[in-house]
């Protein structure tokens, strides 16, 4: 069996996460039992939700155990199989974690899924045609329920979720406005992702200033908002929401280091009769087939061209992850493992 490198959570962050919270560990992969397959990972997904799991606190997901391999999505290739459903050479997506290889009980529902790389790159199954893409799809289609001609806004617009949101929103005939950090990201959002406008939040010192920019970008107000950030950005959008607007709450990355995120204008939820709904996409597996079909078509046809930031080698994962939390990535953050 091959030698395996893993990254464990060695200790929990106090405030901001740091590289010393992680530990590189060497070991051997165990021999396969009946029904298991051995997967060599090609790419590891890094996602903001992982920061919350590093804390030993009540959340929607179990805390990451200390001294164990960090959890995370992976794509790779089956290199040994004791399961009739999977053959050597199959390309697969699963939750292999921060390691080079994983042994998977492939009969467990949802543990491993075969993917077709004929028209869709393998790495895309961790981004646009994976969990982030389905997250965008569920928030838009099931919570916001857009209608043609309405105005949709998404924060973290050039990330993996925001990129997919743009293509899905434009496909439904909506004016689509992004909020991102920096001129390069905003230019990419408009020129390549298809946003009608992208606002650089770094040019605004407070919610009122950002809200004025949103007023110019959304002259008829905001009907649907997909929230990834929280804090000042949420305050700014609340000031521009139309009556009976819908807000899908996916993430609050501004507060992932443990700082409180007060809301300045909560009365607007009542005044405008807003629908505000948080969701976890893994709790809605019933929508994944429809979502993945649409997302796969958008990628294969070139209508969704999501950018990737790729760190090289497992050892690079901690610093790449910390950069993701600070917005240093451009598009979906991956780690290439081969």
pLDDT at 1 over 90: no
Whole-number Å distance between alpha carbons of 219 and 324: 32
The tokens describing 69, both together, are 């391999």
pLDDT single digits (tens) 53-97: 999 877 777 899 999 999 999 999 999 999 999 999 999 999 999
| One domain for residues 138 and 99 | no
| One domain for residues 192 and 255 | yes
Contacts of residue 125, defined as CB under 8 A and 6 or more positions apart, other chains included, come to 75, 93, 115
Whole-number Å distance between alpha carbons of 220 and 82: 58
Torsion 267-143-114-63 (CA) sign:
positive
Average pLDDT in the 118-139 region?
96
Is 173 part of a structural domain of the chain?
A: yes
The tokens describing 64, both together, are 């990451």
| One domain for residues 216 and 135 | yes
Average pLDDT in the 24-51 region?
95
Cβ-defined contacts of 320-326 (< 8 Å, 24+): 320/46, 321/17, 321/46, 321/50, 322/17, 322/18, 322/19, 324/46, 324/47, 324/48, 325/17, 325/48, 325/51, 325/253, 325/256, 325/257
What ranges make up the beta strands (E) of the chain? 3-9, 22-28, 36-45, 74-81, 91-94, 101-105, 112-114, 151-155, 175-180, 197-200, 222-227, 241-249, 275-278, 308-312, 332-336
| One domain for residues 154 and 64 | no
Is 218 part of a structural domain of the chain?
A: yes
- Tell me the CATH number at 158: 3.40.50.720
- Confirm if 94 and 61 have CB atoms less than 8 A apart: no
| One domain for residues 97 and 27 | yes
- Tell me the CATH number at 26: 3.90.180.10
- The residue from 282, 298, 316 where one domain ends is 282
Whole-number Å distance between alpha carbons of 103 and 101: 7
Whole-number Å distance between alpha carbons of 72 and 159: 17
Other C-beta atoms lying within 10 Å of the C-beta of residue 123? 21
Is 295 part of a structural domain of the chain?
A: no
| The pLDDT value given to residue 173 | 98
Average pLDDT in the 159-182 region?
96
| One domain for residues 235 and 252 | yes
User: What is the tally of structural domains in the chain?
Assistant: 2
| The pLDDT value given to residue 110 | 86
- Banded pLDDT at 141 (limits 50, 70, 90): very high
| One domain for residues 137 and 276 | yes
| One domain for residues 142 and 112 | no
Packing angle between helix 160-171 and helix 288-300, nearest 10 degrees?
A: 90
- Confirm if 256 and 280 have CB atoms less than 8 A apart: no
Average pLDDT, rounded, for the chain? 95
What pTM was estimated for this model as a whole? Answer: 0.91
Is 144 part of a structural domain of the chain?
A: yes
| One domain for residues 82 and 172 | no
Whole-number Å distance between alpha carbons of 261 and 242: 23
Domain span including residue 135: 131-282
Is 113 part of a structural domain of the chain?
A: yes
pLDDT at 299 over 80: yes
Is 30 part of a structural domain of the chain?
A: yes
| One domain for residues 107 and 238 | no
pLDDT single digits (tens) 88-121: 999 999 999 999 999 999 999 889 999 999 999 9
pLDDT at 330 over 90: no
Is 216 part of a structural domain of the chain?
A: yes
| One domain for residues 113 and 217 | no
pLDDT single digits (tens) 207-242: 999 999 999 999 999 999 999 999 999 999 999 999
Contacts of residue 278, defined as CB under 8 A and 6 or more positions apart, other chains included, come to 249, 250
Length of the chain in terms of residues written: 338
Is 299 part of a structural domain of the chain?
A: no
What 3-state class would DSSP assign to 80?
A: strand
- The residue from 282, 299, 328 where one domain ends is 282
The tokens describing 111, both together, are 């543990």
pLDDT at 257 over 80: no
| One domain for residues 7 and 120 | yes
Contacts of residue 200, defined as CB under 8 A and 6 or more positions apart, other chains included, come to 180, 181, 182, 183, 185, 186
């Amino acid at each position: 069996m091959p030698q395996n490198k893993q990254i464990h959570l060695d200790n929990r962050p106090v405030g901001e996460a740091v590289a010393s919270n992680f530990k590189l560990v060497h070991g051997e992969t165990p021999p396969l039992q009946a029904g298991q397959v051995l997967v060599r990972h090609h790419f590891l997904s890094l996602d903001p939700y992982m920061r919350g799991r590093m804390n030993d606190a009540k959340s929607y997901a179990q805390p990451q155990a200390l001294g164990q391999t960090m959890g995370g999505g992976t794509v790779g290739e089956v290199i040994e199989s004791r399961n009739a459903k999977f053959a050597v050479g199959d390309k697969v997506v699963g939750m292999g974690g921060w390691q080079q290889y994983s042994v998977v009980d492939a009969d467990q529902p949802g543990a491993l899924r075969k993917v077709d790389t004929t028209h869709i790159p393998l790495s895309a199954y961790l981004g646009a045609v994976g969990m982030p893409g389905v997250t965008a799809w569920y928030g838009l289609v099931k919570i916001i329920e857009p209608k043609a001609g309405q105005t949709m806004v998404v924060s973290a617009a050039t990330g993996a979720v925001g990129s997919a949101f743009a293509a899905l929103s434009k496909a439904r005939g909506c004016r689509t406005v992004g909020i991102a950090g920096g001129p390069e990201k905003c230019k990419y959002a408009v020129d390549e992702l298809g946003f009608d406008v992208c606002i650089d939040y770094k040019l605004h010192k407070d919610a009122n200033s950002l809200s004025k920019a949103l007023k110019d970008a959304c002259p008829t107000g905001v009907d649907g908002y997909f929230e990834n950030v929280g804090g000042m950005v949420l305050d700014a959008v609340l000031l521009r929401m139309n009556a009976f607007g819908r807000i899908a709450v996916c993430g609050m990355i501004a507060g992932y280091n443990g700082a409180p995120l007060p809301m300045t204008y909560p009365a607007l939820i009542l005044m405008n009769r807003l629908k505000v709904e948080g969701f976890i996409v893994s709790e809605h597996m019933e929508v994944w087939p429809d979502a993945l079909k649409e997302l796969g078509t958008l990628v294969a046809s070139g209508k969704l061209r999501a950018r990737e930031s790729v760190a090289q080698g497992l050892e690079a994962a901690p610093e790449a992850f910390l950069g993701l939390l600070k917005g240093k990535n451009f598009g979906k953050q991956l780690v290439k493992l081969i």
